[in-house]
Amino acid sequence: MRPPSGSTRLAAVIGDPVRHSLSPLLHNTAFAALDLDWVYVALEVAPGGAAAALDAMRTLGIAGLSVTMPHKEAVAAACDELTEEAAALRAANCVVNDGGRLIGHNTDGDGFLAALAAELDLDPAGRRCVVLGAGGAARSIALALARAGAGEVAVVNRTASRAHEVAALLGPVGRVVGPDDLASVMAGAELIVNATSLGMG
- Residues assigned a catalytic role: 72
133: left (phi over 0), alpha (psi -120 to 50) or beta: left
**Residue 135 to residue 159: CA distance in whole angstroms:** 11
Residue among 41, 40, 43 at smallest CA distance from 52:
43
How many whole angstroms separate alpha carbon 159 and alpha carbon 82?
A: 26
Nearest CA to 86 among 100, 98, 102, 103?
Answer: 103
Bridge partners (DSSP) listed for residue 101: 98
What is the residue type of 159?
Answer: T
Compute the C-alpha angle 125/131/135, nearest 5°: 125
